[in-house]
Chain A
Amino acid sequence: MVQLRPRASRVPASAMVDEGQPASEEEEAAEHGLLLGQPSSGAAAEPLEEEDGEGDDEFDDEAPEELTFASAQAEAREEERRVRESVRRDKTLLKEKRKRREELFIEQKKRKLLPDNILEKLTTAGQTNIKKSSGKLKEATLQKKKEEYEKGSVSKNAKEKVQKVQSVGQNKSYWALRLKDQDLRDSRQEAAKAFIQNSLYGPGTNRTTVNKFLSLENKRLPVKKAAAQFLNSAWGTQKKQNAKRFKRRWMVRKMKTSKK
């Protein structure tokens, strides 16, 4: 869309001076209108502004400048090139970042694993010992539980492995844990306790709080009394603590000032 330049008036110079302000105001308004009304690209607006400034001086009615197709094309190509360059740069930056992170991860993983020679030894020995070790572990469980009740203390089984070991070979992965850590956290026992809790106190059971239960009688007396646990002493503990601390500090301050 062609923007029409605001035309300068054909008034003589003196009048021009007087009306310079209104004219400039008009131009400003026009500029504003330009800026507000029609969004135009900054590049296009610039030459227009420059020309506006000059437009005061030369009140020739000039035709808009001619932009040849070639120059416009050149400009557009410049634009495109610039954009492409920036995108390429971004891509390379990202790629580099990702590469660095990968390397970091590989290094960390390498640090975690034991040195290669030990791993090799383990994989060759581990293949044959997998079945044997699981059997031993079960026996160890039995033995341990019996011994616990006899001796009253947990006996450490020398066969137990302590480290977490990852096998390097095929997709087999296993790790050995100490039975001492597992003893009191049996998942089946937890599930059983959860079952009892759910069936007695879970959703669908008709339970109420002890406070409400004990207050039922109070509600039916001829002279109604308050609930059994009317005061909630657990309310606002933080606030009460803060208040106590403030009171103590205030007292100290008061003592100091009164002494002076």
Chain B
Amino acid sequence: MGEFKVHRVRFFNYVPSGIRCVAYNNQSNRLAVSRTDGTVEIYNLSANYFQEKFFPGHESRATEALCWAKGQRLFSAGLNGEIIEYDLQALNIKYAVDAFGGPIWSMAISPHGSQLLVGCEDGSLKLFQITLDKIQFERNFDRQKSRILSLSWHPSGTHVAAGSIDYISVFDVKSGSAVHKMLVDRQYMSVSKRKCIIWGVAFLSDGTVISVDSAGKVQFWDSATGTLVKNHLIANADVQSIAVSDQEDSFVVGTAEGTVFHFQLVSVTSNSSEKQWVRTKPFQHHTHDVRAVAHSPTALISGGTDTHLVIRPLMEKVEVKNYDAALRKITFPHRRLISCSKKRQLLLFQFAHHLELWRLGSTVATGKNGDTLPLSKDADHLLHLKTKGPENIICSCISPCGSWIAYSTTSRFFLYRLNYEHDNISLQRVSKMPAFLRSALQILFSEDSTKLFVASNQGSLHVIRLLEGSFKHLHTFQPQSGTVESMCLLAVSPDGNWLAASGTSAGVHVYNIKHLKLHCTVPSYNFPVTALAIAPNTNNLVIAHSDQQVFEYSIPDKQYTEWSRTIQKQGFHYLWLQRDTPITHISFHPKRPMHILLHDAYMFCIIDKSLPLPNDKTLLYNPLPPTNESDVIRRRTAHAFKISKIYKPLLFMDLLDERTLVAVERPLDDIIAQLPPPIKKKKFGT
């Protein structure tokens, strides 16, 4: 494998934003997650929980509610008073409708999928009709005194329960008037000055309304009479979210202490028909408030201020008890946020509203395996580039020579030229970028930094030639006729002839840059592509999918390579397939064509194609055995996958030159240290 000096980088101050809303779509098994900075991410739960799409955030958009409607339509509403529909094909916002009620706190779609109800700041409930391509305002319900914080439709669509501050109202949809008004106690059987905020309500088909509030109570109300049936005090802090399963025999609530409780409808005695709601399981997977929960048929999904997305499959609902039924915690991003310029040893970090450029430090010392070498020159923060406007940065890239930086937001595309003279850098913006470059999903520079490739969310791929201080638009590869498919990942060959682009549904397209036409298409696989790279001399395209399969395709031969066929026949090691996090980056060694370097969040691996492949019985993770072992044993246990788990959690790992690696780590404690304050926990003895 060789010896490498590793630059361990921990100065990437990446803090993800907290999760605010979660919505589960049963038909497609997809999860929509919205964060506090306005980003909406779509996770495909059947493709190994991979984040396949995302909509970049906006400063003024503070989403408070997220819903799926019939036919895979996604709606969100927020504190800027607008209802937004997202276009899942073109990955942009279809339209935004102002509800004219002030900030919107809650939204619910009727069980038939034809009507949409929003609860506003001024206490009014507004009913909208969902038409084929738009939503239309129908009417207002009776106006209430305080803001409507939570909504729930009765499964028949005749009644609506609305939770507000200190009371819950039940409305009749046809007339729009409040039928019942149920007053909620501020504190469990005592007096309190703080108002009781009803964070969530759920309406069951037998007329029970379940409410969760800020006093830590879960209450069951009878909507026919408007009275309290049962009261559960489950926490000392707020209970902030509730989600009911489709069969209505279980629901899940999330508290501000980070605990998620599972309630189930069980029979009172083993053979009686009478059932009651019992709190069965507590789960403590979060440290901060759990602000959103969802209930899929087989799993409980929760997300909150501590930025983790936790998916807990329920044991009794899972049919096959294999590794799929384990807890999944999604913490780190599934896309690359860091780009590297190998020649000048620069790293570009992408944040939500700014970019940072750092130069790596250097050392002159040498040592043996496992030593930490002292730095002779510290890492340098060269540039802090703030974006103009309220939108988030979608993607960014730095050219391999280090002289060009490009990034894109939803409405604009920015290209900068960097000049270096004696440790100083100067920045120059290239003005008048064409409008078709905006809202780019992926930006890539060619190896010699003369060409820029931009994948836009409309499905087209633009090739731009870079000249000194200006640019020239060379060509645009249009998508196949009829489909609007957003290209998510790009890879360019080091000799500059081939460009590979992967979309969300079709296979990977390979384009010939010299002749500017489509060369071939790799057959599509039913799992999305997570990483893409082209090897230097052999021009083999290496593709990693979200189910941890790695394919190697030879571009000149237009077929899979021998090695790829061998490993597909044998199959990967079972531990390799059971990894949680997707492979986000693939790179190659310039002098060793048999090596492929790839990494995910918890390991990095060098695949040596010349060594034999491991089968299920061999040990997958075998670090270097001690040198006093005989050579024979070492040769017997050696296999192609050399895995190292020294550096974790890894956000990025790349080969800078033949003897140097750079590993960007982000310890979880550093992220937690910058989160908002959690609820105080009193433990005995402290």
Name the segment of A97-105, A124-132, A166-174, A199-207 touching the other chain.
Answer: A199-207
A145 touches B96 (CB 8 A): yes
Interface check A241, CB cutoff 8 A = no
Task: Pick 22 A–B contacts, CB within 8 A, sort by A.
Answer: A149-B96, A152-B410, A183-B60, A186-B80, A188-B81, A188-B121, A189-B80, A189-B103, A191-B121, A192-B147, A193-B62, A199-B197, A200-B289, A206-B236, A206-B680, A207-B677, A208-B680, A210-B677, A212-B680, A213-B677, A213-B681, A220-B686
Using an 8 Å CB-CB cutoff, how does the interface string of B381-394 with A read, 1 for contact, 0 for none? Answer: 00000000010000
Interface check A228, CB cutoff 8 A = yes
Nearest B residue (CB) for A202: B194
Beyond A189-B79, A206-B679, A207-B677, list 13 extra A-B contacts (CB 8 Å).
A189-B60, A189-B103, A192-B121, A200-B289, A205-B237, A206-B237, A206-B680, A209-B677, A210-B672, A210-B675, A210-B678, A213-B677, A216-B683
Using A199-B197, A216-B686, A228-B669 as known contacts, say yes or no to A184 and B60 having CB atoms under 8 A apart.
Answer: yes
**Of B81, B98, B685, which is within 8 A of A220 by CB?**
B685
A192 touches B93 (CB 8 A): no
Using A200-B238, A200-B289 as known contacts, say yes or no to A208 and B677 having CB atoms under 8 A apart.
Answer: yes
Within 8 A of B (CB), among A100-147: 142, 145-146
Minimum Cβ distance to chain B for residue A232 (Å): 12
Which of chain A's residues have a CB closer than 8 A to the CB of B98?
142, 145
Interface check A92, CB cutoff 8 A = no
Interface check A219, CB cutoff 8 A = yes
Q: How far is A186 from B79 in the complex, measured between Cα atoms in Å? A: 10
Which of chain B's residues have a CB closer than 8 A to the CB of A142?
98
Which of chain A's residues have a CB closer than 8 A to the CB of B4?
none
Q: How far is A220 from B438 in the complex, measured between Cα atoms in Å? A: 54
Interface check A153, CB cutoff 8 A = yes
Minimum Cβ distance to chain A for residue B667 (Å): 12
Interface check A93, CB cutoff 8 A = no
Q: How far is A205 from B105 in the complex, measured between Cα atoms in Å? A: 21
Using A219-B685, A219-B686 as known contacts, say yes or no to A149 and B80 having CB atoms under 8 A apart.
Answer: no
A210 touches B59 (CB 8 A): no
Minimum Cβ distance to chain B for residue A258 (Å): 24
> Please, how many residues of chain A have a CB less than 8 angstroms from a CB on the other chain?
34
Q: How far is A2 from B602 in the complex, measured between Cα atoms in Å? A: 107
* Interface SS majority for chain A: helix
Using A145-B98, A153-B411, A193-B79 as known contacts, say yes or no to A210 and B673 having CB atoms under 8 A apart.
Answer: yes
Q: How far is A206 from B93 in the complex, measured between Cα atoms in Å? A: 39
Q: How far is A214 from B670 in the complex, measured between Cα atoms in Å? A: 12
Interface check B524, CB cutoff 8 A = no
Which of chain A's residues have a CB closer than 8 A to the CB of B102?
188, 192
What 10 pairs across the A-B complex have the smallest Cβ distances? Answer: A152-B411, A208-B680, A192-B103, A207-B677, A219-B686, A188-B102, A206-B680, A204-B194, A149-B96, A192-B79
Q: How far is A219 from B686 in the complex, measured between Cα atoms in Å? A: 6
Which of chain A's residues have a CB closer than 8 A to the CB of B675?
210
B residues sitting closer than 8 Å to A (CB atoms) are 59-60, 62, 79-82, 93, 95-96, 98, 102-103, 105, 121, 147, 193-194, 197, 214, 236-238, 256, 287, 289, 390, 410-411, 438, 669, 672-681, 683, 685-686
Which of chain B's residues have a CB closer than 8 A to the CB of A220?
683, 685-686
B289 touches A213 (CB 8 A): no
Interface check A229, CB cutoff 8 A = yes
Which of chain A's residues have a CB closer than 8 A to the CB of B411?
152-153
Which of chain A's residues have a CB closer than 8 A to the CB of B669?
214, 228
Which of chain B's residues have a CB closer than 8 A to the CB of A188?
81, 102-103, 121
Minimum Cβ distance to chain A for residue B25 (Å): 24
Which of chain B's residues have a CB closer than 8 A to the CB of A191?
121
A214 touches B672 (CB 8 A): yes
Minimum Cβ distance to chain B for residue A260 (Å): 30
Which of chain A's residues have a CB closer than 8 A to the CB of B678?
207-208, 210, 213
Which of chain B's residues have a CB closer than 8 A to the CB of A212?
680
A149 touches B95 (CB 8 A): yes
Which of chain A's residues have a CB closer than 8 A to the CB of B93?
149
Minimum Cβ distance to chain B for residue A149 (Å): 5
B390 touches A208 (CB 8 A): no
Nearest B residue (CB) for A204: B194
A207 touches B680 (CB 8 A): yes
Q: How far is A211 from B672 in the complex, measured between Cα atoms in Å? A: 9
Q: How far is A186 from B98 in the complex, measured between Cα atoms in Å? A: 14
Q: How far is A209 from B674 in the complex, measured between Cα atoms in Å? A: 10
Q: How far is A174 from B214 in the complex, measured between Cα atoms in Å? A: 43
Minimum Cβ distance to chain A for residue B674 (Å): 8
Nearest B residue (CB) for A217: B683
Which of chain B's residues have a CB closer than 8 A to the CB of A186?
80-81
Q: How far is A244 from B686 in the complex, measured between Cα atoms in Å? A: 39
Minimum Cβ distance to chain B for residue A49 (Å): 77
Q: How far is A183 from B95 in the complex, measured between Cα atoms in Å? A: 18
Minimum Cβ distance to chain A for residue B85 (Å): 11
Within 8 A of B (CB), among A172-194: 183-184, 186, 188-189, 191-193
Q: How far is A219 from B194 in the complex, measured between Cα atoms in Å? A: 32
Minimum Cβ distance to chain A for residue B384 (Å): 18
Which of chain A's residues have a CB closer than 8 A to the CB of B237?
205-206
Nearest B residue (CB) for A184: B60
Q: How far is A229 from B620 in the complex, measured between Cα atoms in Å? A: 37
Minimum Cβ distance to chain A for residue B199 (Å): 9
Minimum Cβ distance to chain A for residue B7 (Å): 23
